[in-house]
Structure 1
Amino acid sequence: MSAADTKQKLAGAEKREFTHSSHEGGDLVDPNGPNKVHIDENDIPTYMGMSGNKLGVMITVAASMGFCLFGYDQGVMSGLISAPQFFRVFPACDPARQGAYKGTLLCDASRRASQAGLCRLTRPVLSAASVLQAFYVAIYEVGCLAGAVFALMFGDRLGRRKMMFSGAIILVIGVIIQITAFSGSWAGGQFIIGRIVTGLGTGFETSTIPTWHAECAKAHSRGFAVFIEAAMISTGTMIAYWIDFGFSYLDNSASWRVPIALQCIFAVALVALLLFLPESPRWLVSKGHYAEAQKVIAALEPAPYNDATVVLQLKVINDSLEGQTRQRKRDLITNGPTQHARRMLLGASSQFFQQVGGCNAVIYFSTPIFEEYLGLGRKLSLILGSVLATVYALSACISFPLVDKAGRRKLFFIGTWGQALSMFLIMGCLIPGKDSNAVNGAVVGIFLYLTFFGFTWLELPWLYPAEINPLKTRTTANAVSTINNWLFNFTVVMFTPPFLASTSVGCFAFFGAVNLCFLPVIYFFYPETAGRSLEEIDIIFARGYVEKVSYVKMAKIMPRLSGAEIEGEWRRLGLSDEERPSAGDGAEGFNSVPGTVSVLRVLVRGNVRNIEIALIVLPPRWTGAPAGGAAAMKRTRGKNDRESRLARVPAPKIALAILLAIYSDIFFEFLYTNKDARMHYSIGVQSFIALEIGAPLTEPREEEASDSLPVIYFFYPETAGRSLEEIDIIFARGYVEKVSYVKMAKIMPLLSGAEIEGEWRRHLQLAHLPDTAGWMLQTRTIGTPCAGI
């Protein structure tokens, strides 16, 4: 798609008439169809009657349902795989019937005594039954792997919602196949097929939900929201453990059929929510559904359909996608400014580390470990497993306030150290010759391990790939990460029972050592993404590549960017289809009034917002602005329209604005890190100012305000780096709180888009941000900073 075609489509988004399918989240259909409706551009769009934070919460609930379902299925087999009721239908999984215990052929009486907690089983050796138990559990991961591969191939074609919807339906079919397996030669095969089909549906969900959720969440809340979603894995596991324990008192096949069947509740709830929730705005833009994407963005903000912030976010998303439209499939494994291969490997490595760190060795087999390797009774093992799952779920809640405050890297480090030390504690307590208190120490080690895992490595590997990968390859790269997860999940679950039977001490020592190997990789290669919009993360990698700086270091030193700054950086770094800034952009016209457009081209690319701030503080009589203020602004989306309108601004105003921007150290130091480029533009702009500063003003100079220092010191608040709305808030807060406006400008921190809106409501009693008043609206194209979606 050419840039001209894209702009034409963006312009077409101004048309307000489009239609719905049978639900509010449907794709656009024939505009002349029977469901044609009219959207008032002054109204805030809604889904399920909700917008803004309420809609964000509902999206989080839907995403949480998907991962609660995943956690439930992950934990449900732990209490069932060694249950006598399960063995009656699947006798090949019963080690007692094979006599496969070291030095002992267990009879039914001794087995019942062990299950009652009256005696301790002799430690098992590797047997066909133990391997088959592992296979019944692990084959689910094969289905998940197949689902992730399908998402890799077809996820972008179908879209986020259709993939999640399909995954939930497939999962229900798999559950039905499992619970209808009865005694007979085909029972085991039917159960295995059901596990594979269930895994296929789960693979669809886990490959798609993190991407959908991250693309619908705002930058400042994305980590928190996605952590809640991932923490629901532990909640699902906890529910499964307690249900297993409760149904263990039944002495028939319902004790395992009902727990497996109950996961359908989560799948049905997910389907019901998806019918009415929106598609990812980034996916909609990638498929050309600009009107629907603008509607989703407006609902998430919340803001009117045609609000400047909504239009800006739509443009930022489109620019970020447009810059990668020419990427070929092989670019997924190549580098360059976008660093696709590196970012894909970073995301995939986090999933790899999660699995080989030993999490599923504990989650899937905690009950058998308590029962068979620590010598605890069947009922006590089930209770301990349920309590362990509860602690696991509670520990996941610790991550909620930490995810954005502490950052991703710190949580990675804390979790890795904690997991390693816990594994070594378990190892030490299982060394032969220890007294009975060593069993208690091993139980404590298992609890500590899942506590550290619950608030760090449980959530981070689902959040990090969704953040770290660029938009164009995000679905594909996330699917690769998830494939990695399921591949090593299957490997760990398959080899854990034989490894434990061979050497339980060596098994936990291995997992402890592997965790220590993660530390240098995290330290040197994992950049911090907390608080960054998805577009800022693209810029971190592009700048690191261009400036030959470590990406970890670049994430530390690069300040937060506004929407205008993001757009300027994208163009400067060659990440969009727009022309890059070059020496020729301004050289042709620095010394003539028509050349103002060339100067403005550079300024618009770099820092439109700061130029607007510079202009807004100039008295109208200096600039030739209309005396009656601005007429209603018709927002423009095209670069050519913006430049032609800015070109009509009187030259003296532009000269003074540029001078003020330089004086405030806004423009050159931050936009151009290359010294030669900075010097070139600096000399050119200074020459332009020298020529234009002497041009006659629109009013006689004797009417200018005094420039005396006391007036400036006491009455001129600093506006550099502030959005226009923040300047309004400075004056409103100064008035309300009886504080000098100069002091208020110093003490008030920079505000995000959401904080600005909150301040407006608190101090100015407005439902949402109005258009900035004054003559500036005639040239304004960008307002509040883009906080990301």
Structure 2
Amino acid sequence: MLGIPKYFGLRGSALNFAISWIAGLDFLLFGYDQGVTGGLLDLPSFTKYFPDINPEEPGIGDALKSQRSSNQGIAVAAYNLGCFLGAVFTIFVGNPLGRRMTIFIGSVIMTVGALLQCTSYDLPQFIVGRIVTGWGNGMNTSTVPTWQSETAQAHARGKLVMIEGMLITAGITISYWLNYGMAWIGEDEVSWRFPLAFQIVFALIIFGTILNLPESPRWLVMQGREEEALEVLVALNDKDHDDPFIANEFESVRLTVQEMSKGSYASLFQMSEYREFHRVVLAYVCQMFQQISGINLITYYAPILFEKINLEDNNYPKLLAACNGTEYFLASLVPIFIIELVGRRKLMLVGAAGMSLSMVALAVSLHVLDTGNKKAGPAQAVFLFVFNTFFALGWLGMTWLYPAEIVPLRIRAPTNALATSGNWIFNFMVVMITPVAFDSIGYKTYIIFAVINAFIFPVVYFFYPETRYRSLEEMDDLFKKSSSVFDIVSISLTEPHRYDRHGQLRQDYIEDIERRMSVREDAKIEHSDSS
């Protein structure tokens, strides 16, 4: 590759780190795209070109204000619609193209979309640019976790997925602080064109390096390119070709591919002893819950929400949004360290309860603000921070981790594609209706999301099993023992674990296996003697 050493001359841990860095950069770009637009909507240099999405223009009537609120929702949510289309598109082209090429093409498409946005002079071009950018991002976010998990060492996968969630908030934070800095420029167009163009920097790094990093060995085996898969495993593990570890890893990859080849999209709707459809529903609803919690109501419109507390001077709304993003990022670090200690269920339950109560507090404080009492402004600001904190703890990275843990290996790929598309379509719905909802029903918008989050709590409590310290094979066995949607939780909490917190087989499990084998041997001997 243009005289550059293969894999940049990296092997072992250094090569794994490079893959994680590029994968993380893509999720950082994902977060940046989510946060950047909300800080531009009130800039005079922006609304000059796009007045049709400015419902706050003085002197316009209620009818026009309502129409512009709808236009704003459509313009902002066009990105999410593009993400949904890109995710669906990847279902069909992901395997033929391969992991690296899909990410490469997705990053190129994002670059084209960013160029369309930052050079826009009318609303149709801007909306098309957002759809194109979203299309590329949908391709990337559907592929990057798969590429990373298929190249990462097994013991690091869970933590890496949670780190990806943290990097989304890092991207959001960067976009908020950049918007705050640009807001001081005044009416110069660079204040909104530069933040939209800046995302190209991340995309350039991704598509400039991705093709010189290893392809997924699992995908290579699927394509019959076993020699290349072996070379990748040698480089990733920094071992010799004849090392027994490499032979074992290669055989594991082959067995995994054979198992995956047994699945199909029709398998998603089966209810065999593995209860496939039951598990698919859990994965899809988990992704849906993340979006209908209302997080992107805040992520996309934070500066506008902070304007409602009467802090228009000195760009305080953008400063508060930037501080909110920073605190959101810091909160997202916590699950990385406690996810295995606390477990999935407890984090999801705490998150849902906290988000519901936060939405109640936001509804009450906004209602008081609407009556003219400005003393409720600080409460409104505080609970926007509090909501993000609970979301970061319970739901930010969880919905990228849990579906992969809950579904059988043979349908993992189609299930993840389906669940990811669900994430984006509900994301689109929330972002599109938010301006309209606030314009039509005001503080009651928060009440809707308070009720939704309250509903999430019992659903998780009664239907979502704990996957902590469970292998994929263990989850298969747990669902085999399940006879309905109501007993899987109790089974997951009471069934003995095979592995301890360090990933080693538990001694009592080993003793139980040895005891069973001894009983079988004795039975064989008795049967032989009787014969």
Q: Same fold (TM over 0.5)?
A: yes
Counterparts of 1:96 and 1:225 in 2: how far apart (Å)?
A: 42
Shift >6 Å, 4+ stretches:
20-25
Deviation at 1:687, TM superposition (A): 5.6
Query: Is 1:163 aligned to 2:102, yes or no?
Result: yes
Alignment correspondent of 2:398: 460
Query: 3-state DSSP class of the match of 2:367?
Result: coil
Q: Deviations over 1:666-688 (max 9, x none)?
A: 3353x7xxxxxx96664114566
Deviation at 1:332, TM superposition (A): 2.3
Query: 3-state DSSP class of the match of 1:95?
Result: coil
1:24/1:206 Cα in 2 relative to 1: closer, same or farther (>3 Å)?
Answer: farther
Query: Is 1:236 aligned to 2:171, yes or no?
Result: yes
Query: Is 1:256 aligned to 2:192, yes or no?
Result: yes
Deviation at 1:22, TM superposition (A): 8.6
Counterparts of 1:413 and 1:508 in 2: how far apart (Å)?
A: 19
Residues 56-67 of structure 1 aligned to structure 2 (within 5 Å): 56-67=16-27
Counterparts of 1:278 and 1:527 in 2: how far apart (Å)?
A: 35
Deviation at 1:181, TM superposition (A): 1.5
Count of residues in correspondence between the two structures: 520
Alignment correspondent of 2:85: 146
Q: Deviations over 1:38-61 (max 9, x none)?
A: xxxxxxxxx433333332222211
Deviation at 1:210, TM superposition (A): 1.5
1:682/1:436 Cα in 2 relative to 1: closer, same or farther (>3 Å)?
Answer: farther
Contact 1:148 1:479 in 2 (8 A): yes
Query: Is 1:176 aligned to 2:111, yes or no?
Result: no
Alignment correspondent of 1:79: 39
Q: Deviations over 1:231-273 (max 9, x none)?
A: 1111111111111111112222111110000001111111233
Letter in 2 for 1:94: N
Query: 3-state DSSP class of the match of 1:165?
Result: helix
Counterparts of 1:57 and 1:158 in 2: how far apart (Å)?
A: 24
Runs of at least 5 residues in structure 1 that lack an aligned partner in the other structure: 1-19, 26-46, 103-123, 567-606, 611-661, 672-677, 692-789
Deviation at 1:553, TM superposition (A): 4.6
Deviation at 1:328, TM superposition (A): 4.0
Query: Is 1:450 aligned to 2:388, yes or no?
Result: yes
Alignment correspondent of 1:684: 524
Contact 2:478 2:492 in 1 (8 A): no
1:538/1:81 Cα in 2 relative to 1: closer, same or farther (>3 Å)?
Answer: farther
Select which of 47, 50, 53 maps to 2:13: 53
Deviation at 1:196, TM superposition (A): 0.6
Letter in 2 for 1:423: M
Residues 662-681 of structure 1 aligned to structure 2 (within 5 Å): 665-667=512-514, 669=516
Letter in 2 for 1:560: R
Counterparts of 1:516 and 1:297 in 2: how far apart (Å)?
A: 46
Contact 2:66 2:439 in 1 (8 A): no
Residues 682-761 of structure 1 aligned to structure 2 (within 5 Å): 682-685=522-525
Counterparts of 2:76 and 2:415 in 1: how far apart (Å)?
A: 27
1:685/1:242 Cα in 2 relative to 1: closer, same or farther (>3 Å)?
Answer: farther
Residues 763-778 of structure 1 aligned to structure 2 (within 5 Å): none
Q: Deviations over 1:2-46 (max 9, x none)?
A: xxxxxxxxxxxxxxxxxx999877xxxxxxxxxxxxxxxxxxxxx
Query: Is 1:390 aligned to 2:326, yes or no?
Result: yes
Query: 3-state DSSP class of the match of 1:89?
Result: coil
Select which of 309, 312, 319 maps to 2:255: 319
Query: Is 1:375 aligned to 2:310, yes or no?
Result: yes
* Bigger Rg, structure 1 or 2: 1
Contact 1:220 1:531 in 2 (8 A): no
Select which of 245, 254, 267 maps to 2:180: 245
The structure with the largest helix share of the pair is 2
TM-score w.r.t. the length of structure 2 is: 0.89
TM-score w.r.t. the length of structure 1 is: 0.61
Deviation at 1:179, TM superposition (A): 1.6
Alignment correspondent of 2:138: 203
Query: 3-state DSSP class of the match of 2:9?
Result: coil
The alignment's C-alpha RMSD in Å is 3.1
Deviation at 1:538, TM superposition (A): 4.1
Specify which structure has the bigger relative contact order, considering alpha-carbon pairs within 8 angstroms and separated by 6 or more residues.
2
Counterparts of 1:665 and 1:545 in 2: how far apart (Å)?
A: 20
| Higher deviation after alignment, 477-486 or 324-333 | 324-333
1:547/1:87 Cα in 2 relative to 1: closer, same or farther (>3 Å)?
Answer: closer
Contact 2:264 2:411 in 1 (8 A): no
Query: Is 1:342 aligned to 2:302, yes or no?
Result: no
Alignment correspondent of 1:498: 436
Counterparts of 1:553 and 1:507 in 2: how far apart (Å)?
A: 36
Contact 1:211 1:474 in 2 (8 A): no
| Higher deviation after alignment, 411-420 or 385-394 | 411-420
Contact 1:529 1:537 in 2 (8 A): no
Deviation at 1:438, TM superposition (A): 1.4
Letter in 1 for 2:285: S
Alignment correspondent of 1:517: 455
Q: Deviations over 1:296-328 (max 9, x none)?
A: 334334433332233223323322332353434
Letter in 2 for 1:249: W
Select which of 195, 200, 210 maps to 1:274: 210
Q: Deviations over 1:693-741 (max 9, x none)?
A: xxxxxxxxxxxxxxxxxxxxxxxxxxxxxxxxxxxxxxxxxxxxxxxxx
Deviation at 1:205, TM superposition (A): 0.8
